[in-house]
Amino acid sequence: MPPKRSASNTSSSGSKKAKVDSDARSGGPRTMKSTRWSRISGSGNADAAYKSSIEDPVKAYSYVCICRLPFDDEDDRKDESDRENEDDRENEDDREAETSKSSCDAGKTCLCNKPAAEHPNHPLILSNAGKSKWFTQHTFLDLRCPDAFNMYTFNDHEGYGALEVVQNLFIDYVEAFFDWEEQWAVCEATAMIYMSDALAPLNSIDDSAAVYATLVLAGRTFLAMLAKLEHLNLLKPDSEVKNLGFIMALYIKLAATEDSILDLDDVTDEIKKNNGTDETFTFVRSDFPSHILAYAKKYNIKLVGPTGIDEVIEDLDDGAELPERDEKPYGDPWNLDGATKEYVDRHSCYHDGRKGFKTRIGGDALDITTWSSADRKKKSFDGKDPLGKEERDAIKNGLVMSLA
* pLDDT averaged over every residue in the chain: 85
List, in sequence order, every beta strand (DSSP E) within 76-226: 125-127
Rounded to 10 deg, the angle between the 180-195 and 128-142 helix axes is 50
Distance from C-alpha of 262 to C-alpha of 215, rounded to nearest angstrom: 8
Name the pLDDT band for 402 (thresholds 50, 70, 90). confident
Distance from C-alpha of 197 to C-alpha of 130, rounded to nearest angstrom: 18
Distance from C-alpha of 43 to C-alpha of 34, rounded to nearest angstrom: 10
**CB contact at 8 A, 145 and 158:** yes
Mean per-residue pLDDT, 148-161: 96
Q: In terms of residue numbers, what domain contains 44?
A: 21-73+95-159+367-396+400-404
| pLDDT score, position 32 | 61
Q: Is the dihedral of CA 122, 128, 130, 134 positive or negative?
A: positive
Evaluate if residue 237 carries a pLDDT over 50.
Answer: yes
Give backbone dihedrals phi and psi of 215, rounded to 5 degrees, phi first. -65, -45
Single pTM value for the model: 0.86
**Residue 297 located in a structural domain:** no
| pLDDT score, position 4 | 35
Exposure letters 334-365 (e unless 16+ CB within 10 A, then b) = bbbeebbeebeeebbebbbbbeeebeebbbbb
**Residue 110 located in a structural domain:** yes
| Tens digit of each residue's pLDDT (9 = 90 or more) over 216-231 | 999 999 999 999 999 9
- Whose CA is closest to 130, among 87, 174, 173? 173
Spatial CB neighbours of 190, under 8 Å, sequence gap ≥ 6: 166, 169, 218, 221, 222
Residue 211's CB is within 10 A of a number of other CB atoms, namely 23
Give the CA angle between residues 52, 54, 59 to the nearest 5°: 135
| Count of structural domains within the chain | 1
Name the pLDDT band for 85 (thresholds 50, 70, 90). very low
Distance from C-alpha of 309 to C-alpha of 358, rounded to nearest angstrom: 39
**Residue 155 located in a structural domain:** yes
Mean per-residue pLDDT, 154-172: 97
**Residue 153 located in a structural domain:** yes
| Tens digit of each residue's pLDDT (9 = 90 or more) over 253-269 | 999 988 888 887 888 99
**Residue 45 located in a structural domain:** yes
Share of residues in the chain with pLDDT > 70 (%): 84
Distance from C-alpha of 104 to C-alpha of 170, rounded to nearest angstrom: 30
Name the pLDDT band for 403 (thresholds 50, 70, 90). confident
**CB contact at 8 A, 368 and 143:** yes
- Whose CA is closest to 27, among 44, 52, 46, 57? 52
**Residue 215 located in a structural domain:** no
Evaluate if residue 187 carries a pLDDT over 90.
Answer: yes
Mean per-residue pLDDT, 67-80: 59
**Residue 273 located in a structural domain:** no
Q: Hey, which residues does 19 pair with through a beta bridge?
A: 400
**CB contact at 8 A, 18 and 139:** no
Evaluate if residue 54 carries a pLDDT over 50.
Answer: yes
- Whose CA is closest to 244, among 303, 185, 309, 313? 303
Mean per-residue pLDDT, 219-246: 97
Span of 25-29, 51-55, 214-218 with lowest mean pLDDT: 25-29
Name the pLDDT band for 73 (thresholds 50, 70, 90). low
- Whose CA is closest to 218, among 165, 270, 169, 158? 169
**Residue 317 located in a structural domain:** no
